[in-house]
């Protein structure tokens, strides 16, 4: 019985759409985060003087601090974007799949 339900779900076009959209969206967000993170890390590794510029004359804080904080904020923003889409479009598709399985 359980295998039948799994096969029905896998054969459902809405399920295939959900998996495709979710995977594609996750990969895009992952690539965006990796690009931002590795750009920051590679800048630290190969051009640390670019991040060592003080924010203002006589300031101890360098430009690297707010840029590092921006990288962290970017991760939170991407998480929010994914959560918003998951709670909207992805949940709607999942509910549609559940309803179609209940009907059978």
Distance CA(80)–CA(74), nearest Å, equals: 10
Residue ranges of domains in the chain: 2-103
Residue 29 clears pLDDT 60, i.e. is over it = yes
What confidence tens digit (pLDDT) does each residue in 13-27 have?
A: 999 999 999 999 999
What's the CA gap between 100 and 16, in Å, rounded? 14
pTM to 2 decimals? 0.84
Q: What is the CA radius of gyration of the chain?
A: 22
Nearest CA to 90 out of 14, 36, 29 is that of 14
Beta bridge partners of 52: none
Q: What is the pLDDT of residue 104?
A: 64
Cβ pair 32, 78 in contact under 8 A: yes
């Amino acid at each position: 019985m359980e295998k039948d339900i799994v096969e029905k779900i896998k054969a459902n076009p809405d399920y295939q759409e959900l998996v495709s959209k979710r995977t594609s969206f996750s990969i895009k967000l992952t690539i965006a985060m990796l690009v931002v993170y590795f750009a920051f890390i590679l800048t630290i590794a190969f051009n640390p003087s670019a991040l060592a510029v003080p924010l203002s004359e006589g300031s101890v804080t360098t430009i690297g601090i707010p840029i590092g904080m921006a990288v962290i904020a970017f991760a939170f923003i991407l998480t929010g974007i994914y959560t918003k889409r998951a709670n909207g479009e992805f949940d709607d598709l999942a509910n549609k799949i559940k309803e179609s399985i209940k009907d059978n």
